[in-house]
């Protein structure tokens, strides 16, 4: 078995709106996959379907060979799927260390071990200086790191990052890119929703493009950015032709 | 915090408390302390679910009354030994907590909805017990006086006081142990952000069910002890609104989600009650009215309760206050 | 089998009681719909209003006349309570509001208890035992009046919510608090007005109840648990839901009383309440609360 995650003809409807429309794709272990698309393309919904916060209306989600479509989010986390939230969700009144410890408890029942794990993770993410501060006192960049740290503390096999770079300034972004690379080097498969194209081009071996719930392109960053449908999805119909005319 | 630092202050305070009967033999003082400890114990139950888990119950009387009635009726109807009845009452209380929790949490009730449904359960229990001859209706249940330790009845108030203190000690130590366990970490995570907790692999339903069962068991213990002490229970005393209110006032006034909060709050409530009586004489309701004012003031100006205020004043008592919520 | 006219009389009686339940519930549901909080002081305010009506009547003012003065008075009190106590004390946190209104209810109820003790009192009005003859049944006059006034007040509230600026502002805040702020609506004012309307509804309900009911410091509690049921039944925040729910609960209570005896009438309501909360917390008519 070579795939870690398989999305098999998945559709998700909210009332009359089809947020994800008949999407199929499979992810091989060990890379960073970018998931891009214009606003409202269904990227976050797809993440929710993979992490279990939403159930598919049609289709199946297969993780390491098992159908997990009906499992609750916490069961999926136990199987090794971790996610961050686009709008960060810290445990506001808990300290940074306590936040990360909650994640670490998934694999370590003992408090001492969970705390040790949390310290190790916070060192990796450069959170050591603020470990005893309440999460509510962190800056945006700090909260994004915390979100990442907590997810990592669950020792995932598959990590879903939902716009971890949004809201960061260029220098904060430069700091966090290597962190994401190290996560991959540690053997974790990463899927990231990201609007910052520079980062996507930089990090991802493969990019998947969604538009209006449908999968419209799938390939290397280079292939995808040259795809007419992708250009039109972002810039409107006819844009690709105009661009080609300009370059000609 | 290391284990000695976490548990030593508790053991010290319990030891100090245990010495009280050697300092005073006043029955009035000891009686006041016993009732205070009963409220504290009920408050420890509430604090586990409300303080650590963030699920505010307005009907903990359901568990207090269950504990009291189960303990009394098992002895009176089934001839069970008082200690066995006491232990069974705690188990039954925990079971009732589990059932109410399962029904409410599985339906996704939280916030005001959860407060309402717990209130309604307590009311239903009160009406059913009041109307049913099996529970002796409005007349209540009277236990026969038979003061033998083997019968969980004591000739001296001092003995009752020591037992009550022991029960509160167990609650205090369990609370501190909970703070230092995975369940405690999960419970606080559920309080702060349920979705984030789920994403980190926390089974939120199971966590809340464990909390409400434990919570109900402690409050049931308070009810069962109440019946052993007063040898009497009726629907209003067991299931009425006032015990639900006192069970939540003690931890909120003392310090929500802290190990010492319910004890400090119960003592404060008791002293406040004494003070009102001394100032105004025994006017019905005057003490409760003042408690209500106190509750609003605490929410408005000192969300962390008395312990929160103290730890703000001087960081010195921090070890005692534990994790005070800002 | 019961004769159809007894059944019909029970249904009519239920509708009469239900109209007052509806009035109590409308205040509760309106506050929930706009502020998204349950006002746990609702019952205590009703008790206070009943005492006010009681003392007005001792002073020689008929409750139906007192209504004219008490409704604005309670509106003002409700407005002030929200603006000066509930809102500042709770710092915008819903869980705090829950506790603050609980605290208020403890204060009001126990101040009443301290001042007037737990004695149950009632008033004598000349029309107390008058009744309306429908041919097949007699309906007590005070309850018919209560039914009529409750219907008028609810209708007026409905019209006010839909056709006045304040009403539209209230509905706007209920739908989208942030958006309402952006278009210049004073949300704190709207909250307080809503709270005031809730209290005024209670004052009216109190004046309607007094001629045929009794008063003691905890009288409101019983009504409010019923009102909670009505609100949950009709859908949290839905005014028409509260009206229909109130009438239905009145009928259900009357019929349970008829078939199973008085004391179980209340129990039926609570069981219904719990089942509703557990199975369908958004109510029969409610959208997502």
User: Does A126 lie at the interface with B, CB-CB under 8 angstroms?
Assistant: no
CA–CA gap between residue B233 and residue B218 (Å, rounded): 18
Over residues C54-64, the pLDDT tens digits come to 999 999 899 89
Query: Does chain A touch chain B (at least 3 C-beta pairs within 8 Å)?
Result: yes
Find, among B77, B35, B120, B68, the residue nearest to B238 by Cα: B68
Question: Angle at CA A55, nearest 5°, toward A51 and A57?
Answer: 140
This model of the complex carries an ipTM of: 0.91
| pLDDT on residue B127 | 87
Kindly state the helix (H) or strand (E) to which residue A146 belongs, with its residue range. Answer: helix A140-153
Q: Is the pLDDT of residue B326 over 50?
A: no
User: Which residues in chain B have their CB less than 8 angstroms from residue C94's CB?
Assistant: 111-112
For residue A147, what is the nearest residue in chain B, using CA coordinates? B196
B4 burial type by CB count under 10 A (0-12 exposed, 13-18 middle, 19+ buried): exposed
Kindly state the helix (H) or strand (E) to which residue A5 belongs, with its residue range. Answer: strand A5-14
- Contact between C8 and C136 under an 8 Å Cβ cutoff? The reply is yes
For residue C96, what is the nearest residue in chain B, using CA coordinates? B299
| pLDDT on residue C264 | 65
Q: Is the pLDDT of residue B314 over 80?
A: no
CA–CA gap between residue C112 and residue C48 (Å, rounded): 7
pLDDT band (50, 70, 90) for residue B212: very high
For residue A50, what is the nearest residue in chain B, using CA coordinates? B199
Assign residue B305 a region: left if phi > 0, alpha if psi is -120 to 50, beta otherwise? Answer: left
Main-chain dihedrals φ then ψ at residue B181, nearest 5 degrees: -125, 170
- What DSSP assignment string belongs to C104-171? HHHHHHHHHHHHH-S--B----TTTT-EEE-SS-EEEHHHHHHHHHHHHHHHHHHHHHHHSHHHHHHH
Q: Residue A67: give the domain boundaries.
A: 5-87+156-247
For residue C94, what is the nearest residue in chain B, using CA coordinates? B111
Angle between helices B61-78 and B82-106 (to 10 degrees): 140
Quote helix, strand, coil % in chain B, to nearest 5.
80, 0, 20
Main-chain dihedrals φ then ψ at residue B238, nearest 5 degrees: -80, -45
In a domain, A33, yes or no: yes
pLDDT band (50, 70, 90) for residue B315: low
Sign of CA dihedral B96, B97, B100, B103: negative
Two tokens at B226? 């109440």
- Mean model confidence pLDDT for chain C: 85
- Mean model confidence pLDDT for chain B: 91
Two tokens at A235? 């810039």
In a domain, A92, yes or no: no
pLDDT band (50, 70, 90) for residue C228: confident
Find, among C144, C151, C192, the residue nearest to C26 by Cα: C151
User: Does B52 lie at the interface with C, CB-CB under 8 angstroms?
Assistant: no
Mean pLDDT for B36-57 is 97
User: Which residues in chain C have their CB less than 8 angstroms from residue B116's CB?
Assistant: 38, 228, 232, 277
pLDDT band (50, 70, 90) for residue C217: confident
Query: Does chain B touch chain C (at least 3 C-beta pairs within 8 Å)?
Result: yes
Q: What is the pTM of this model?
A: 0.90
pLDDT band (50, 70, 90) for residue C92: confident
- Contact between B263 and B165 under an 8 Å Cβ cutoff? The reply is no
- Contact between A169 and A186 under an 8 Å Cβ cutoff? The reply is no
In a domain, A100, yes or no: no
Sign of CA dihedral C50, C54, C55, C56: positive
**Residues in chain C, overall count:** 289
Q: How far is CA A188 from the centre of its chain?
A: 12
Strand partners, A219: A207
CA–CA gap between residue B247 and residue B42 (Å, rounded): 5
Q: How far is CA B249 from the centre of its chain?
A: 10
User: Does B155 lie at the interface with C, CB-CB under 8 angstroms?
Assistant: no
CA–CA gap between residue C190 and residue C176 (Å, rounded): 13
Closest chain B C-alpha to A83 CA, distance in angstroms: 7
- Contact between A195 and A166 under an 8 Å Cβ cutoff? The reply is yes
Find, among B52, B196, B322, the residue nearest to A146 by Cα: B196
Find, among C283, C261, C262, C263, the residue nearest to C272 by Cα: C283
Quote helix, strand, coil % in chain C, to nearest 5.
75, 5, 20
Question: Angle at CA C157, nearest 5°, toward C153 and C163?
Answer: 140
Return residues 27-46 of A near B (CB < 8 Å).
Answer: none
The residue among B176, B185, B197, B308 with the most chain A CBs within 10 A of its CB, best to mutate, is B185
Which residues, at least 6 apart from B237, have a Cβ–Cβ distance to it below 8 Å? B68, B140, B226, B243
**Record: contact C263-B131, CB cut-off 8 A:** yes
Nearest-CB residue to B112 (from C37, C225, C274): C37
- Contact between B272 and B287 under an 8 Å Cβ cutoff? The reply is yes
Closest chain A C-alpha to B1 CA, distance in angstroms: 11
Return residues 222-261 of B near C (CB < 8 Å).
Answer: 241, 245, 252
Sheet with A206-211, side-by-side order of all strands: A81-83, A158-162, A189-193, A32-36, A206-211, A214-219
Strand partners, A61: A7
The CB-side HSE value for A159 (13 A sphere, CA atoms) comes to: 28
A97 burial type by CB count under 10 A (0-12 exposed, 13-18 middle, 19+ buried): buried
**Record: contact A106-B196, CB cut-off 8 A:** no
DSSP A56: -
Sign of CA dihedral B74, B80, B86, B88: negative
In a domain, A94, yes or no: no
Two tokens at A103? 């994640």
User: Does B115 lie at the interface with C, CB-CB under 8 angstroms?
Assistant: yes
Find, among C278, C284, C279, the residue nearest to C235 by Cα: C284
In a domain, A149, yes or no: no
Q: Which chains touch C (3 or more CB pairs under 8 A)?
A: B
Closest chain B C-alpha to C289 CA, distance in angstroms: 11
Q: Is the pLDDT of residue B259 over 50?
A: yes
Average pLDDT per consecutive 10 residues, chain A (248 residues; last block may be shorter): 88 91 93 90 93 94 94 96 93 94 96 95 89 92 93 96 89 88 92 89 91 91 86 78 74
CATH number of C4-279: 1.10.3470
What's the CATH code of the domain at A20? Answer: 3.40.50.300
Find, among B149, B152, B129, the residue nearest to B64 by Cα: B129
Question: Angle at CA B112, nearest 5°, toward A101 and B254?
Answer: 60
- Number of folded domains in chain A? 1
Two tokens at C150? 């409750």
Span of A120-134, B69-83, B87-101, C274-288 with lowest mean pLDDT: C274-288
CA dihedral C8, C12, C17, C18 (to 10 degrees): 90
Nearest-CB residue to C267 (from B103, B115, B128): B128
CA–CA gap between residue C80 and residue C88 (Å, rounded): 11
Q: What percent of chain C has pLDDT over 90?
A: 28
């Amino acid at each position: 078995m070579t795939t870690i995650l398989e999305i098999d003809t998945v559709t998700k409807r909210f009332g009359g709106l089809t947020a994800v429309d008949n999407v199929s794709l499979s992810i091989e272990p060990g890379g960073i996959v970018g998931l891009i698309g214009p606003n409202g393309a269904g990227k976050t919904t797809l993440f929710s379907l993979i992490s279990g916060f939403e159930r598919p209306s049609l289709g199946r989600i297969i993780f390491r060979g098992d159908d997990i479509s009906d499992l609750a989010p916490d069961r999926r986390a136990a199987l090794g799927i971790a996610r961050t939230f686009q709008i960060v969700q810290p445990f506001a009144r808990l300290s940074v260390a306590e936040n990360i410890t909650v994640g670490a408890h998934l694999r370590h029942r003992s408090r001492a071990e969970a705390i040790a794990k949390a310290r190790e993770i916070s060192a990796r993410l450069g959170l050591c200086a603020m470990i005893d501060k309440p999460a509510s006192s962190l800056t945006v960049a700090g909260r994004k790191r915390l979100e990442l740290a907590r997810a990592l503390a669950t020792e995932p096999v598959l990590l879903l990052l939902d716009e971890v770079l949004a809201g960061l300034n260029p220098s904060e972004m430069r700091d966090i890119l290597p962190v994401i690379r190290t996560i991959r080097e540690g053997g974790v498969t990463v899927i990231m929703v990201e609007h910052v194209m520079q980062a996507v081009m930089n990090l991802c071996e493969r990019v998947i493009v969604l538009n209006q719930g449908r999968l419209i392109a799938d390939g290397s960053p280079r292939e995808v950015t040259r795809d007419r449908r992708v250009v039109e999805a972002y810039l409107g119909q006819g844009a690709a032709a105009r661009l080609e005319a300009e370059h000609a | 915090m290391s284990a000695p630092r976490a548990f030593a202050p508790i053991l010290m305070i319990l030891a100090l408390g245990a010495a009280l009967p050697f300092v005073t033999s006043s029955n009035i003082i000891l009686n006041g302390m016993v009732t205070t400890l009963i409220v504290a114990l009920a408050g420890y139950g509430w604090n586990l679910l409300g303080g650590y888990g963030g699920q505010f119950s307005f009907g903990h009387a359901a568990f207090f009354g269950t504990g009291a009635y189960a303990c009394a009726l098992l002895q009176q109807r089934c001839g069970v030994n008082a200690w066995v009845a006491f232990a069974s009452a705690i188990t039954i209380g925990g079971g009732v907590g589990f059932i109410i929790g399962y029904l409410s949490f599985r339906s996704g009730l939280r916030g005001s909805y959860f407060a309402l449904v717990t209130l309604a359960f307590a009311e239903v229990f009160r009406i059913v017990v009041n109307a049913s001859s099996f529970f002796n209706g409005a007349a209540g249940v009277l236990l026969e006086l038979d003061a033998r330790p083997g019968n969980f009845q004591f000739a001296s108030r001092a003995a009752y006081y020591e037992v009550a203190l022991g029960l509160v000690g167990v609650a205090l130590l369990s609370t501190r142990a909970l703070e230092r366990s995975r369940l405690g970490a999960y419970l606080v995570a559920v309080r702060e952000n349920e979705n984030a907790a789920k994403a980190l692999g926390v089974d939120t339903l199971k966590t809340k069910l464990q909390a409400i069962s434990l919570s109900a068991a402690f409050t049931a213990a308070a009810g069962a002890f109440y019946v052993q002490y007063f040898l009497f229970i009726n629907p209003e005393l067991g299931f009425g609104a006032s015990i639900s209110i006192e069970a939540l006032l003690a931890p909120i006034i003392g310090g929500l989600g802290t190990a010492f909060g319910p004890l400090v709050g119960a003592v404060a409530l008791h002293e406040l009650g004494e003070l009102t009586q001394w100032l105004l004489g025994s006017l019905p309701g005057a003490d409760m009215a003042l408690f209500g004012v106190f509750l609003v003031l605490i929410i408005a100006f000192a969300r962390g309760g008395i312990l929160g205020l103290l730890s703000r004043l001087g960081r010195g008592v921090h070890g005692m206050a534990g994790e005070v919520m800002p | 089998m019961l004769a159809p006219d007894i059944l019909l009389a029970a249904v009519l009686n239920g509708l009469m009681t239900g109209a007052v339940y509806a009035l109590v519930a409308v205040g509760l549901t309106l506050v929930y719909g706009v502020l998204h909080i349950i006002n746990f002081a609702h019952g205590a305010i009703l008790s206070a209003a009943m005492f006010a009506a009681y003392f007005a009547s001792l002073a020689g003012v008929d409750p139906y006349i007192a209504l004219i003065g008490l409704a604005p008075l309670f509106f003002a009190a409700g407005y002030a309570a929200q603006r000066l106590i509930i809102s500042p004390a709770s710092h915008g946190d819903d869980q705090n509001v829950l506790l603050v209104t609980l605290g208020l209810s403890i204060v009001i109820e126990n101040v009443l208890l301290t001042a007037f003790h737990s004695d149950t009192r009632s008033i004598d009005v000349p029309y107390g035992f008058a009744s309306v003859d429908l041919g097949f049944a007699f309906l007590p006059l005070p309850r018919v009046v209560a039914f009529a006034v409750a219907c008028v007040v609810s209708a007026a509230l409905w019209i006010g919510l839909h056709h006045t600026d304040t009403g539209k502002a209230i509905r706007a805040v209920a739908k989208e608090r942030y958006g309402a702020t952006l278009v210049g609506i004073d949300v704190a004012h709207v909250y307080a007005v809503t709270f005031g309307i809730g209290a005024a509804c209670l004052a009216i309900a109190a004046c309607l109840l007094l001629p045929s009911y009794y008063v003691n410091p905890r009288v409101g509690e019983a009504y409010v648990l019923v009102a909670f049921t009505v609100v949950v039944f009709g859908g949290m925040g839905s005014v028409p839901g509260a009206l229909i729910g109130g009438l239905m609960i009145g009928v259900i209570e009357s019929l349970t009383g008829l078939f199973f005896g008085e004391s179980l009438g209340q129990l039926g309501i609570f069981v219904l309440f719990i089942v509703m909360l557990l199975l369908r917390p958004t109510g029969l008519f409610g959208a997502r609360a």
